Amino acid sequence: MTEVRFEHSSNLPGLLADLGVSVLISTYQAGKVLVLGTWERKLSLTFHSFEQPMGLAVSPRALAVGTRRLIWLLQPTRELASRIEPAGKHDGAFLTRSAVFTGSIHVHDMDWCNGELWAVNTLFSCLCTLSNEFSFVPRWQPPFITALAAEDRCHLNGMATEGTAPRYVTALAETNEPAGWRANKAKTGCILEVPSGRVVTRGLAMPHSPRLYDGKLWVLDSGWGRLSLVDRTTGAVTPVGEVPGYTRGLSFFGPYAFVGLSRIRETNVFGGLPIAEKRDELICGVGVIDLRSGKTVATFMLRSGVEEIYDVRVVPLRCLAISGPSPDVDETPALWVVPPPSSAGQR
């Protein structure tokens, strides 16, 4: 057991309550998905156990959680939310219903496109979809990748979608060699257009979490701890906000960006990054950036027990309940959903 200590800015509960949202946070290092919501304008926080959770994908029809070997699928059950104690607290719920075994593909970002789940398959340097017949179905690779191989050649990690299909991806280098992205990772990050493979911009420091929002392309220039805008025509990168953390995980709601913040490990993965010079100042949690000013206006900080965040997703529900695959570990009630009895079967 590891003690998790957290704190938050005094205005965070009120901000979430006024927006009417909950925030999902995945941390593969701690093996948890966190849910931040509000109840009576106070912060509600729950932890749910998954094996190395990474990418999260949310739609009105399903929540997907990418883990070490499985992609878990949770279904919305609004009627169940009203039965979870205390009465009236939750206005939405997701219940674990199934999982697809992909094997270890180092799944990163995921999103729903036309009802189909797309995932960044980092180990095989491709975008893929799921299948009951195969481990995964490769759908797209960067043009410089010449083979489907479990070699993490370019560390493809992030994906921006436009409702119907993936449109942009981030990679840490344009390399076709096994783990070739590690050589000069502080300067070789790039954004590629899908499906053309055109390089939109280069020179980023370990970029993550590209997103399309308000008609603009956003990205986290993680090695600098920045939220940036990218001109899709010229490739110009404009920093919008800077935060005290390795940025990874990005979601928007209204005029706000919710950005995941991580401390960095003392390993060769993060060596040489500009943000490493501020190692002692970095925090783990979520920063809320006002897009109108670029300033961080609210924070949620994990002071112990969690060092790294991967994904952040905002859900338009004030207090979301999750019933994960391990309610006994989470110390949450076991929940069931069954069809209503037919009139003929009632006794």
Please state the domain extents for the chain.
5-328
Q: What strands lie across the sheet with 216-221, from one edge to the other?
A: 208-213, 216-221, 226-230, 237-242
pLDDT value, residue 99: 97
Intervals of the chain under pLDDT 70: 1-2, 266-268, 343-347
pLDDT value, residue 347: 43
Return the biggest CA–CA distance within the chain: 71
**Cβ neighbours for 338, distance < 8 A, ≥ 6 positions apart:** none
Q: Which helix (H) or strand (E) holds 328?
A: helix 327-330
Torsion of CA 105, 182, 308, 61, to 10 degrees: -40
Q: Which helix (H) or strand (E) holds 81?
A: helix 78-81
pLDDT value, residue 19: 98
CATH topology of domain 5-328: Neuraminidase (2.120.10)
The answer to whether residues 36 and 43 touch, using CB atoms and an 8 Å cutoff, is yes
Tell me the residue type at 6. Answer: F
Write the DSSP string, 91-106.
Answer: SEEEEEEEEEE--S--
pLDDT value, residue 332: 85
pLDDT value, residue 260: 98
Strand pairing report for 320-323 and 92-101: parallel
Write the DSSP string, 11-30.
Answer: THHHHHHHHT-EEEEEETTT
pTM for the model stands at 0.95
Beta strands in 214-282 (DSSP E): 216-221, 226-230, 237-242, 246-253, 256-262
